[in-house]
Amino acid sequence: MAEPGARLTVRARSTARRTAEVIGSWVGDRRARIAVWIGFALVVAGLAGFLAVLDAVRDADDLAALDEPVLTTLAQGRSDLLTGFLTVVTVAAGTTVLPLVVLGAALVWGLVRERWWQAGLLAGAMVVSTLVSVTLKRVVARPRPPVDMMTGAGIEESYSFPSGHTIGAATLLLVAGYLVWVARPSVRSAVGWGVGVVVGVLLVGISRLYLGYHFVTDVVASMALAVAVLGGVVVLDRRRAARAARVRPG
């Protein structure tokens, strides 16, 4: 029969272990909750940025004052080499190539890595950004730049605001980068993610401006919307993480 002192020691160790598990869970839950609020902040910031650009477009002032000058300047500075390169960029971010990239990434996450949650988040974010873009184009109904300004990838006659290519590329890079980073967060990977997003989104946005398919405000509005979509993904993902942290001790 165990001594009373031994039983007390075992009970104390068991209590300490459970307390440590609860504290560890609470810390994880707290971090997830903070991340949820960061996600909400991204949604608000993205929507606020978009509304500010939309107001500028409707009033033809502020950022919209750059639309015509930038379009004209870029058209005058075209070269065969740069036109060819940016045409490849804009085609890669279009409705044919980009969905294949998203499908491939989702299949890798789902079938190969067995992370269907991440695959679903990426696919869902792309669907949402596409629906938002198509809907806003019809609601705002802003004409594209003149046809004689367009070059490289044919004539596009749909509405201009916002840029579908830009919101698609920005959403893909932001959301995929976040999902990769959050699995193994580090400063180095965060810097790499940030650089990749900036370079990729700027390339696509500049290609749309340079080739004459969009105005500056179209591109900037799309970037803001992509940030809002990222915020929604962060909220969903971190709320799931918070729930997991709460139930883990049980």
Q: Hey, is 140 helix, strand or coil?
A: helix
Say which residue the tokens 């401006």 belong to: 209
Residue 52 has pLDDT above 70, yes or no: yes
- Highest-pLDDT range among 33-42, 111-120, 146-155, 161-170: 161-170
Q: Which is it for the CA torsion 54, 206, 119, 191, positive or negative? A: negative
For the ranges 59-63, 97-101, 121-125, 143-147, the lowest mean pLDDT is seen at 97-101
Q: How far apart are alpha carbons 139 and 188 in whole angstroms?
A: 41
Q: Mean pLDDT for the chain? A: 84
Asked if residue 92 lies in contact with residue 188, where contact means CB atoms within 8 angstroms, the answer is no
Give the C-alpha distances (Å, rounded to integers) separating 34 from 10, 22, 28, 174, 235. Answer: 36, 18, 10, 19, 10
Q: Tens digits of per-residue pLDDT, 13-51?
A: 554 454 444 333 333 467 777 888 999 999 999 999 999
Per-residue pLDDT at 182: 86
Q: Tens digits of per-residue pLDDT, 188-240?
A: 888 888 898 999 999 999 999 999 999 999 999 999 999 999 999 999 988 88
Residue 2 has pLDDT above 80, yes or no: no
Per-residue pLDDT at 19: 40
Residue 250 has pLDDT above 60, yes or no: no
- List all residues 6 or more positions away from 176 whose beta carbon is below 8 Å from its beta carbon: 105, 122
Residue 154 has pLDDT above 80, yes or no: no
What is the number of alpha carbons within 13 Å of residue 86 lying toward its C-beta?
Answer: 24
Average pLDDT over residues 166-195: 89
- List all residues 6 or more positions away from 12 whose beta carbon is below 8 Å from its beta carbon: none
**pTM to 2 decimals?**
0.82
